[in-house]
A and B are shown apart, each in its own frame.
Chain A
Amino acid sequence: MTRLFFLLLLVTTGPAFAGPGGEAGRYMEAEDYVRGAFPGGSPAPRTLWVSGDLRDAVERVLGHRFAALRLRYWHDGAKSVWILDEIGKELPITIGVTVAGSAIENVRVLEFRESRGWEVRYPFFTDQFVDARLEADGRLDRRIDGITGATLSVGAVTRIARVALLLDDNIKTKG
Chain B
Amino acid sequence: MNIRKAISLVTALLLASTASQAQQAPATIEELWEIVQRQQAQIDELRLELGEARAAMAATNERVEETEVRVEATGDYVETLAAADTGAQKTTIGGYGELHYNNTKSDAGDSDEIDFHRFVLFFGHEFSDRVRFFSEFELEHSLAGDGAPGEVELEQAYAEYALTENTFAKTGLFLLPLGILNETHEPTTFYGVERNDVESIILPSTWWEAGAGMNGRLGNGLSWDAAVHSGLAMPTDGGSAFRVRSGRQKVAEAIASDPAYTMRLKYTGVRGLELAASYQYQADPSQVAGDGLDSGQLFTAHAIFQRGWFGLRALYAGWNFDGFAVEAAGADKQDGWYVEPSLRFSDNWGIYARYEDLDAARDQDKFTQSEFGLNYWPVPGVVLKVDYRMREHSLPALAVRDFDSLSLGFGYNF
User: Contact string, B304-328, partner A, CB cutoff 8 A, digits 1/0?
Assistant: 1011110001000000000000000
User: How many cross-chain pairs have Cβ atoms below 8 Å apart between A and B?
Assistant: 159
Q: Which residues of A contact B272 (CB under 8 A)?
A: 145, 147
Q: Could you tell me if A16 and B379 are in contact, using CB atoms closer than 8 angstroms? A: no
Whether a CB of chain A sits under 8 angstroms from the CB of B94 is: yes
User: Are B94 and A87 neighbours in the complex by a CB distance under 8 Å?
Assistant: yes
Q: B274 to A147, Cβ gap below 8 A?
A: yes
Interface window among B194-202, B253-261, B398-406: B253-261
User: Which bucket holds chain A's interface residue count?
Assistant: 35 or more
Instruction: Give Cα A24–Cα B88 distance, bound, in whole angstroms.
Output: 18
The answer, among B165, B168, B256, B308, for a CB contact under 8 Å with A1, is: B256
Q: Contacts A70-B75, A89-B94, A91-B92; is A23 near B165 (CB within 8 Å)?
A: yes
Q: Are B130 and A21 closer than 8 Å at their CB atoms?
A: yes
| Interface check B164, CB cutoff 8 A | yes
Asked if residues B308 and A24 are in contact (CB atoms below 8 Å), the reply is: no
Closest to B76 in A: A69
Inter-chain contact B228/A8, CB cutoff 8 Å: yes
Shortest CB-to-CB span from A5 to chain B, Å, is 6
B60 touches A (CB below 8 Å) = no
Question: Which has the most chain A C-beta neighbours within 10 Å: B167, B212, B379?
Answer: B212
**Chain B hits for A9, CB < 8 A:** 171, 212
Question: In the complex, A152→B306 CA distance in Å?
Answer: 16
Name B86's contact: one of A2, A67, A155 (CB within 8 Å).
Answer: A67
Chain-A contact segment, one of B41-49, B183-191, B363-371: B183-191
With A122-B268, A146-B306 in contact, do A16 and B183 touch (Cβ < 8 Å)?
no
Residue-wise, chain B 153-166 has the 8 Å CB interface mask toward A (1 for contact) of 00000001111111
Residues 7 to 48 of chain A near chain B (Cβ within 8 Å): 8-9, 12-13, 15-17, 21-27
Interface digits, B89-118 against A, CB 8 Å rule (1 contact, 0 not)? Answer: 000101000000000000000000000000
Using CB atoms, name the residue of chain A closest to B255: A1
A79 within 8 A of B: no
For window 128-181 of B, CB contacts with A under 8 Å fall at: 129-132, 134, 160-171, 180
Closest Cβ–Cβ distance, residue A96 to chain B (whole Å): 17
Q: Is the CB of A147 within 8 A of B258?
A: no
A116 in contact with B228 (CB, 8 Å): no
Contact A145 B307 (CB under 8 A): yes
A90 contacts B92, C-beta separation under 8 Å: yes
A124 to B274, CA, bound (A): 13
A55 at the interface (CB under 8 A from B): no
Contact B188 A151 (CB under 8 A): yes
A90 touches B124 (CB 8 A): yes
Complex CA gap A5/B189 in Å reads 34
Known contacts A13-B171, A151-B186: A124-B94 contact under CB 8 Å: no
Query: Can you spell out 7 A-B residue pairs with CB atoms less than 8 angstroms apart?
Result: A17-B161, A24-B162, A27-B165, A69-B82, A89-B413, A145-B306, A151-B184
Q: A23-B130, A26-B165, A147-B268 are in contact. List 17 more A-B contacts (CB 8 A).
A: A1-B259, A5-B228, A5-B256, A12-B212, A12-B214, A23-B162, A25-B165, A25-B166, A65-B82, A89-B186, A145-B271, A146-B306, A148-B189, A149-B183, A149-B274, A149-B304, A155-B380
